[in-house]
Amino acid sequence: MDLTLSLISHRFLTNFLPVSGELVTPAVDGRPQELESAIKNLFLSSLIVVLGTSSAIAEVSFSGYGRFGLFYDEGNDDETRLDQRFRLNLDGRTETDGGVAFAARLRIQSDDKRGGSAGTAGFNAPRFTVAYSGLRLQVGNISGAFDDDETVFYSGYEPGLTEPIAQNSTFQGPIVEYDSTGKGVSGVSLLYKTDNFQIMGNYNGDHDGDTGSEFAKTYEIGAGYDFGPISLAAAYGNQDNGSDEVWYYVLNAFGSVGDLDYSLFFGDDDVGKKTSYGISGRYQVGAVTQIIASFAGGGADDLSEAFGVGVRHDLGAGVSLRGMVGQNEDGDTIADMGAHFNF
């Protein structure tokens, strides 16, 4: 971006400032323009130079992905529908002379509606970050100790374009999650990590009268240790909405054996009041193809076992073809297929 701004500003300046330094006004239809117009253009070129200079102090970046394809669920009235999602992350970052990083993220996301029509895109609530060495503080629309993947590998490996099956599909703990399309919990989290050890906690209040479980007072804590071929992690949470208080916890082990990446999940919660368990894995077939599978069992009595197996084929440049078939926790057959591309 700096090079582009410099080239644009150079073009403006050479139009209005010749080698002698005397201000001239370009002719239009054989007549000189008004001096005022020339000054306005000169001011604009100066502003571009300033913006180009300031971009070296702070960084603004864009990233995200798009996906589109077909989704099948025998439990829906419209069993087959189009699936589509657009996600754009806007990240701003700067760093003090002492090495303390300050950052903020906004997300724009559009998802298809249940009937298959496209939804409109909008901003979610921001998340603010302060980080130094192994410490990271986040405020606002945070991910909690379960959702952040810094300690427990909560979802594991999820097959398919829409990733509808995870190793935690039968777990019903009301974890704190980053909200891609809304305001989130407006909480605070603190992470400390070294090369092998991670510990994280988060807290959010009840938002002064807002109702709904997503606004209930919640705290979570998680920790993990990387032993090399295997990592072990655990997380515990407690939520109090003023009338009910529930607890939930997860134990997790994950690692790699040759071309196979795996994750084991065990959880219990005071919502379904039953233990849940799961396993997921990803196997590399050749250089560009992966087979991904996930299974979840246990949980509340009204839940079925959830399982799925899928294929992901990399086309290069962040583009992949993905698909899966399986059964969700409602006992319905599901499947999807389509294209996913990162940018």
pLDDT exceeds 90 at position 52: no
Q: What is the 3-state secondary structure (H, E, C) of the chain?
A: CHHHHHHHHHHHHHHHCCCCCCCCCCEECCEECCHHHHHHHHHHHHHHHHHHHHCCCEEEEEEEEEEEEEEEECCCCCCEEEEEEEEEEEEEEEECCCCCEEEEEEEEEEEECCCCCECCCEECCCEEEEEECCEEEEEECCCCCCCCCCCCCCCCCCCCCCCCCCCCCCCCCCCCCCCCCCCCCCEEEEEEECCCEEEEEEEECCCCCCCCHHHCEEEEEEEEEECCCEEEEEEEEEEECCCCEEEEEEEEEEEEECCEEEEEEEEEECCCCCCEEEEEEEEEECCCEEEEEEEEEECCCCCCCEEEEEEEEEEECCEEEEEEEEECCCCCEEEEEEEEEEC
pLDDT bin (cut points 50, 70, 90) of residue 6 is: very low
Prediction pTM value: 0.82
pLDDT bin (cut points 50, 70, 90) of residue 112 is: confident
pLDDT exceeds 90 at position 313: yes
pLDDT digits (tens, 9 = 90+) for 192-243: 999 999 999 999 998 654 545 456 899 999 999 999 999 999 999 999 988 8
pLDDT digits (tens, 9 = 90+) for 277-299: 999 999 999 999 999 999 999 99
Percent of the chain with pLDDT over 90: 74
Instruction: Give the whole-angstrom CA distance, residue 147 versus residue 266.
Output: 15
pLDDT of residue 56: 44
Phi, psi of 113 (to 5 degrees): -85, 165
> Which tokens in the block code for residue 281?
């894995």
pLDDT bin (cut points 50, 70, 90) of residue 117 is: low
pLDDT exceeds 60 at position 17: no
Of 25-39, 215-229, 316-330, where does mean pLDDT reach its minimum? Answer: 25-39
pLDDT digits (tens, 9 = 90+) for 123-145: 999 999 999 999 999 999 999 99
Of 78-82, 111-115, 279-283, where does mean pLDDT reach its minimum? Answer: 111-115
